[in-house]
Amino acid sequence: MFETVEIPVWAIWVAGALAVVALLDRILIPSVRWYLKRRLDRAIEQLNKRLQTRIQPFKLTRRQVMVDRLAHDPKVLQAIVDFAEAEGIPFKVAEARAERYAREIVPSFSAFTYFSFGIKASRWLSEALFKVRLGHEDEAALQALDPNDTVVFVMNHKSNMDYILVTYLAASRSALSYAVGEWASVWPLKQLIRSTGAYFIRRKSRNGLYRTVLARYVQMATEAGVAQAIFPEGGLSRDGAIHPPKLGILNYIVSGFSPSEGRDVVFIPVGLNYDRVLEDRVLLSMGRKERATFWAKVRGGIRVVFNHLLLRLTGRFRRFGYASVSFGTPISLREFLKGQDDVSHETLTRNLGRILMHNVSKAVPVMPVPVIATVLERQIDAKISREELHRESMSKLDWLIRKGASLQFTREEMDAAIRDGIRLLTYRGILEVEGDDGPLHVDPDQRDLVTFYANSIAHLGKSGKAAKRG
């Protein structure tokens, strides 16, 4: 009983390590977690004082909790039953698939990542590449929004820079939640994007179970007041023009909305335009194909990044002209639905989508290069002097202003911006110069690019609304 027992030294070290782990798990880690959570809550509280639309608790809920809530939502459970019967598979198999869909969709928002990294990175990148202009079409209406309403920014889709530019320019309003396509679901981009609150969607999926899981997530986020940003066109414009809306996410929002209870949903039309779309040549080449492949997009993106780095390293980089975002007049879903009880859901959604895209198109800002491209397109084979091109571009600009187009420049600023735009087109090789300072003409191989930029404002001039100047 009192004999000496020898214990190996390594066993003592293992026991000591386990004791330390137990101490950390039971005492220190909970204390640190509580301290950090308290700091985070205070930071969120300070942020909410600055933001027009508060960060809702739904957005801050632990991701695993949200995955479980979504996977066990009553409508999702019914969809699981229907899917299992239709496919002839066990309920548990269908349930596991629904949970996989939920895990794929639900983001893991980090306020620290979004505001400490995301906003600063988006601002730095936007201003490094473009001269950024912000215009508000109806600032009074935007300021009058109820902080408890769910705000949905509805935008045209010109470039993958849209996400970055709008995140930067809407930073004082709220933390936006984007629907992001499959292109971003690669490591490590996937983890970074998910931490900013974006959720991934399979745009072309026709799987009924998947669509139900996605619909319920969008509806739950909308009911909880999460600010969202959607691109109704569904993908990047391959010809520069604005296209009719695809009603997927908009349909989910409308079908889950009850006018008589809960918070209102307010849609804010957002128009974006650029002097240079980074993917312009890639989009044009994709538009000529019947179907664009994922790897075509990847190769195009790599090519753009490589060329940009090369210009930076050789000291030949110039900013890509102007980029601008304009916010239109908010549209209340509750007000829109008044007096339309007899109208079918499909018709309601289609009409709402048409109105929203019309307002988005009106909000698209007039930019120097698109104005120049509009002039060049009419005389694509002609030779023209710099002064004549400048004069005709200013004349076109005046016509657009009279027709009510949105302009984020004074006329004097636009005069200088048009000259910069001509230099940008010459620098890119879209315009060729005869001799040292001779007439200009469009490179025959670049005619599609001229049309691409002209298309971005081709719809303007049809509204009687007065223009807003910077």
Tens-digit pLDDT profile for residues 102-153: 998 888 877 667 777 778 888 888 888 899 987 666 667 777 778 888 999 9
pLDDT at 295: 56
pLDDT at 256: 87
Tally of residues, the chain: 470
Distances 352 to 58, 170, 178, 203, 244 between C-alpha atoms, Å: 27, 23, 20, 20, 12
pLDDT at 317: 62
DSSP per residue over 92-150, as a string?
Answer: HHHHHHHHHHHHHH-----HIIIIIIIHHHHHHHHHHHSEEEEEES-HHHHHTS-TTSE
Q: Are 437 and 387 in contact (CB under 8 A)?
A: no
For residue 331, give the nearest of 270, 271, 266, 262 by alpha carbon.
266
Helix (H, G, I), strand (E, B) or coil at 292: coil
The encoded tokens of residue 1 equal: 């009983």
Q: How many other CB atoms are there within 10 angstroms of residue 171's CB atom?
A: 19
pLDDT at 463: 46
Backbone angles phi, psi at 412, to 5 degrees: -65, -40
Q: What is the CATH number of domain 368-455?
A: 1.10.10
d(CA 143, CA 231): 23
pLDDT at 452: 95
Maximum Cα interatomic distance, the chain, rounded to a whole number of Å: 109
pTM above 0.85, yes or no: no
Q: Are 130 and 324 in contact (CB under 8 A)?
A: no
pLDDT at 17: 78
Residues of the chain falling short of pLDDT 70: 1-7, 12, 21-56, 111-112, 135-139, 172-173, 182-192, 287-309, 311-317, 461-470
The string of pLDDT tens digits covering residues 51-104 is: 556 666 777 778 888 899 999 999 999 999 999 999 999 999 999 999 999 998
- C-alpha R_g of the chain: 27
Q: What is the CATH number of domain 66-278+320-362?
A: 3.40.1130.10
Distances 372 to 232, 395, 407, 430, 447 between C-alpha atoms, Å: 28, 11, 15, 12, 13
d(CA 193, CA 189): 6
